[in-house]
């Protein structure tokens, strides 16, 4: 705890930390831009076949009055509407329309006409990502989430090896380059490749900024620091709706969401390297320079003797941790209690990430105004994060997490009862579910970090993050279920949330508990209180029997 004690001596969360932390939080806004932009860059839209008697580029979605729809398109029994993927294989002459006898044979569409009443431009329109190519739209989101997974693993490792600061700036550059490249993509697979690198970059920017911020804040303030950064992501969420509403062309929108990242390049002269990382690498002189600067800005007297004592204690602490760092991630699965708790935590991460992005990307399926739905979906995150700031140290981690997931799951499952023509009620329930599950998403990181033993905490959190990204990959396909039935994505997410909420009850509470350090501690964590309770109950029963 030597370094943490030093942080307390330097003010814990003084003026220097607040200023730097604020700067580190701002890039979370651009990360939100890119993680949520596909709602407006690749939205779904009604479409129909381009008919042989129409000219591409000049056709309107509504067929001309002298070309009856029933003589042009077959009826699709599965959707209860005219087909969007087939047309009648007819000789479209004037006599054909005058006779009014449609051909029963159908052929697949070769080109499409889109309904531009909601969106003027979209990569779906440009590259015809509908019908048999509709899955490619979800593929783009899947590849993006795969990029986030790769970025979390790669940049996390690289930041441990080469430093937080260089990897943070490399990620910033990659984010701008990937975003601009996506806007100029000449065809779909180039766009997908750019989105892969863009996903990697957002993971690097957000993750490394988070690490730098947490490593300069004293332990008592880390819960608040860990939650506040989510507010900035929410600001980016909300701004995405306004920017997309103002810029209708998808390529211009992609550029507008990418170029603000250039402003963060000036951070090179303002954001320091992590002093904790420098000390761990034996670069004491550089760390001392940063620590003295923190003390100066915070108005703290830090003499050379005091600093030298802290550095010696920190070095001894590091040597001790190296000696005890013999456990591996596989030890979590060797013992029954640890194995059960670990699998539950991984499932919680999977469901929370799947829920968050599944609900965020699904707003265009709810009906009504997509921009307004998206805006409300972002706004409900503010009370969600505010709630957990007050609840974590009052209600406890487990009650807050479980309660949020159960409320969210129940709200989404109630969508089963919503009539097809009652979009406002569907939207209301979806937003209640989003608010509750956003709260659980904010809790799960803190709760999980406190569950794992210290000797495997970083590795275990890495596996948790991997499970989360797999949930994000699934989310890319869940919102396509709305093509079968509008509430179906909400019902699937609600079911997963209920299962995760109930399973979280098995986990032990961590609030004001001595957290596990070793694998043995982790195996016993949460079991001792139960054993004591059973012993007390058994003693009381024996006492009653004796009285009889």
Mean pLDDT lowest among 455-464, 471-480, 534-543? 534-543
pLDDT of residue 453 exceeding 50, the answer is yes
Average pLDDT on 209-232 reads: 86
Spatial separation of the C-alpha atoms in residues 256 and 82, rounded to whole Å: 37
Write phi, then psi, for 107 (nearest 5 degrees).
-135, 155
Do domains 1-40+125-324 and 330-548 share one topology? The answer is yes
When mean pLDDT is compared over 28-32, 153-157, 455-459, 465-469, the highest value belongs to 28-32
pLDDT digits (tens, 9 = 90+) for 192-216: 999 999 999 998 999 889 888 888 8
pLDDT digits (tens, 9 = 90+) for 71-94: 899 998 877 889 999 999 988 888
Average pLDDT on 377-398 reads: 93
48 pLDDT band (50/70/90 cuts)?
A: very high
CATH architecture, domain defined by 1-40+125-324:
Up-down Bundle (1.20)
Alpha helices (H) in 259-335, listed in sequence order: 275-280, 284-298, 304-324
Spatial separation of the C-alpha atoms in residues 288 and 304, rounded to whole Å: 9
> Which pLDDT does position 2 carry in this prediction?
67
pLDDT digits (tens, 9 = 90+) for 166-181: 999 999 999 999 999 9
Mean pLDDT lowest among 60-74, 342-356, 377-391? 60-74
Cβ(44)–Cβ(125) under 8 Å? Answer: no
> Which pLDDT does position 454 carry in this prediction?
75
- Helices H / strands E in the chain, number of each: 23, 6
pLDDT digits (tens, 9 = 90+) for 290-305: 988 998 899 888 777 7
372 pLDDT band (50/70/90 cuts)?
A: very high
> Which pLDDT does position 8 carry in this prediction?
83
Average pLDDT on 472-499 reads: 91
Spatial separation of the C-alpha atoms in residues 507 and 134, rounded to whole Å: 41
> Which pLDDT does position 432 carry in this prediction?
96
When mean pLDDT is compared over 53-67, 151-165, 261-275, the highest value belongs to 261-275
Query: What is the residue extent of each domain of the chain?
Result: 1-40+125-324, 47-115, 330-548
pLDDT of residue 153 exceeding 80, the answer is yes
Average pLDDT on 152-163 reads: 86
Give 173: exposed, middle or buried? Use CB within 10 Å, 0-12, 13-18, 19+: middle
> What is the Cα Rg of the chain in Å?
28
> Which pLDDT does position 498 carry in this prediction?
97
- Residue (of 462, 514, 519, 524) closest to 325 by Cα position: 519
pLDDT of residue 393 exceeding 80, the answer is yes
| Helix 164-183 / helix 135-162 crossing angle, nearest 10 deg | 160
Average pLDDT, the chain: 87
pLDDT digits (tens, 9 = 90+) for 91-131: 888 888 888 877 778 999 999 999 998 899 999 999 999 99
- Residue (of 209, 203, 229, 213) closest to 168 by Cα position: 209
> Which pLDDT does position 548 carry in this prediction?
45
> Which pLDDT does position 386 carry in this prediction?
95
Which pair of structure tokens corresponds to residue 542? 């024996």
Spatial separation of the C-alpha atoms in residues 109 and 88, rounded to whole Å: 10
Is 3.40.50.150 the CATH classification of the domain at 330-548? no
C-alpha 280, offset from chain centre = 30
Cβ(502)–Cβ(351) under 8 Å? Answer: no
Cβ(116)–Cβ(139) under 8 Å? Answer: no
480 pLDDT band (50/70/90 cuts)?
A: confident
> Which pLDDT does position 533 carry in this prediction?
44
Burial 381-399 (b: 16+ CB within 10 A, else e): bbebbebbeebbeeebbbb
- Residue (of 281, 272, 286, 284) closest to 308 by Cα position: 284
Spatial separation of the C-alpha atoms in residues 350 and 441, rounded to whole Å: 10
């Amino acid at each position: 705890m030597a370094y943490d004690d030093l942080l307390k001596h330097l003010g814990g969360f003084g003026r220097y930390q607040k200023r730097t932390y604020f700067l580190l939080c701002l890039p979370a806004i651009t990360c939100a831009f890119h993680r949520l932009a596909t709602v407006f860059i690749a939205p779904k839209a009604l479409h129909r076949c381009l008919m042989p008697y129409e000219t591409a580029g000049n056709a309107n979605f509504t067929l001309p009055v002298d070309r009856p729809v029933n003589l042009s398109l077959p009826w699709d029994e599965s959707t209860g509407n005219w087909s969007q993927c087939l047309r009648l294989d007819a000789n479209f002459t004037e006599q054909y329309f005058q006779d009014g006898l449609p051909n029963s044979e159908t052929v697949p569409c070769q080109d499409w006409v889109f309904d531009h009443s909601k969106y003027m431009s979209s990569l779906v329109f440009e590259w015809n990502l509908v019908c048999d190519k509709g899955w490619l739209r979800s593929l783009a989101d899947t590849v993006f989430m795969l990029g986030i997974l790769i970025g979390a693993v790669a940049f996390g490792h690289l930041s441990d090896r080469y430093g937080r600061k260089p990897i943070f700036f490399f990620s910033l550059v990659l984010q701008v380059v990937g975003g601009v490249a996506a806007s100029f993509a000449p065809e779909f697979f180039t766009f997908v490749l750019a989105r892969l690198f863009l996903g990697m970059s957002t993971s690097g920017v957000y993750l490394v900024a988070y690490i730098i911020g947490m490593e300069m804040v004293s332990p008592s303030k880390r819960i608040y620091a860990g939650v506040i950064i989510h507010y900035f992501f929410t600001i980016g969420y909300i701004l995405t709706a306004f920017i997309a509403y103002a810029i209708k062309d998808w390529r211009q929108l992609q550029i507008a969401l990418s170029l603000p990242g250039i402003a963060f390049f000036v951070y090179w002269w303002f954001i320091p390297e992590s002093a904790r990382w420098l000390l761990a690498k034996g670069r004491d002189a550089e760390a001392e320079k940063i620590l003295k600067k923190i003390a100066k800005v915070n108005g703290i007297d830090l003499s050379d003797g005091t600093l030298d004592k802290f550095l010696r204690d920190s070095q001894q602490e590091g040597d001790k941790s190296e000696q005890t760092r013999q456990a591996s991630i596989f030890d979590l699965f060797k013992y029954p209690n640890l194995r059960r708790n670990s699998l539950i935590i991984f499932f919680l991460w999977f469901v929370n990430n799947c829920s968050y992005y599944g609900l965020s990307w699904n707003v265009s399926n709810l009906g009504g105004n997509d921009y307004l739905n998206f805006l409300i979906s972002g706004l409900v995150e503010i009370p969600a994060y505010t709630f957990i700031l007050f609840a974590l140290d009052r209600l406890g981690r487990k009650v807050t997490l479980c309660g949020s997931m159960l409320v969210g799951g129940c709200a989404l499952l109630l969508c089963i009862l919503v009539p097809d023509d009652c979009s406002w009620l569907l939207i209301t329930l979806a937003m209640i579910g989003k608010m509750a599950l956003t709260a659980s998403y904010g809790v799960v990181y803190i709760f999980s970090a406190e569950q794992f033993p210290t000797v495997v905490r970083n590795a275990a959190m890495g596996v948790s993050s991997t499970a989360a990204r797999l949930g994000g990959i699934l989310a890319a396909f869940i919102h396509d279920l709305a093509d079968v039935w509008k509430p179906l994505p909400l019902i699937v997410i609600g079911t997963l949330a209920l299962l995760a909420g109930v399973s979280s009850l098995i986990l032990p509470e961590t609030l004001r508990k001595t957290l596990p350090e070793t694998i043995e501690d982790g195996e016993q964590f949460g079991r001792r209180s139960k054993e004591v309770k059973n012993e007390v109950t058994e003693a009381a029963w024996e006492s009653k029997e004796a009285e009889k």
